Amino acid sequence: MEMKGFFIATVSPFTADNKLNGDALARVIDKTIGQGATGMLVAGTSGECFMLSFEERVRSFEAAAAFKGRTHLMANVSAIGTDEAIAYAQNAQKLGFDSVISTAPFYYKFSMQAIADFFRDIKRAVDLPLFLYNFPVYTGVEIDIDHPAIREILTDGTIAGVKQTALNAAQMERMGNLNPSLALFGGYDEMYLANRAMGAHGAIGSTFNFTLPLFMPIAEAFQKNDMRSAHALQRRANDVVSLLGKCGLIPSIKYALTRQGIDAGEARRPLPKLTAEQKKMLDQMLEEYFSG
């Protein structure tokens, strides 16, 4: 499957009694494929991955596997321990996923050599393209691409691509310069246009669960080199992204999906519930930007 375009970092819908709702997840995937998505990152940050049990994460892979062949399926295998990450990756491979992705292991302040070994061990365990999910704001890990061990995994076939969820777009460009065969994806939706200009082949985004109608025209304008239109469209999309961030990104995305007819439930604690005022602002946004 092609590694470019818009990948949806899918939410993990929950039922009223806080159980994973695979049917609702399937509806999100089906809807966004129809809107032009080329891939799905399943059970990532937007999917509340570290608040899912091992079994729940695998069940989310199973729900997405029904779309094998219709879209690129990427499984998030992020874990602190290598064995757990490998177990996720092996389940994804059995289910027919096209690729896997992981953050660097965190919390214990691993060395760059240990991080490189982590990715190399995952790659040895499965026959799937492996992506580096670079998310320093959340993991606390700053990847040093000048370190020999990191340069090696970025150039020897261990890493097939990068999701750069970082404000440092220049670092992504440097990775592409180091290895032009890497598939590069931006991770901050509000930086979509900037990341494309710095060499990204596409984007893997949280808000794309419902905002693709705003972002597809940006991609089209960029392809036509109509940067004036692309800038205006990105500013419009960023009005929405900014509001989602202010209200709480994951709860707001789930609320928007529910208002659009796919009951995504609420985010798991300790993520906060939306206030009545926040819901009102989100309703106004949905009416203004998505009512057509």
Q: Which residues are catalytic?
A: 133, 163
174-180, long-range: CB < 8 A, 24+ apart: 174/145, 175/145, 178/145, 178/151, 178/154, 179/154, 179/155
- Please tell me whether residue 18 adopts helix, strand or coil conformation: coil
Q: At what angle do helices 276-290 and 249-259 cross, to 10 degrees?
A: 60
Tokens for 205, please give them.
């985004």
Q: What is the DSSP string of 49-75?
A: GGGS-HHHHHHHHHHHGGGBTTBEEEE
For residue 56, report the phi and psi dihedrals to the nearest 5 degrees: -65, -40
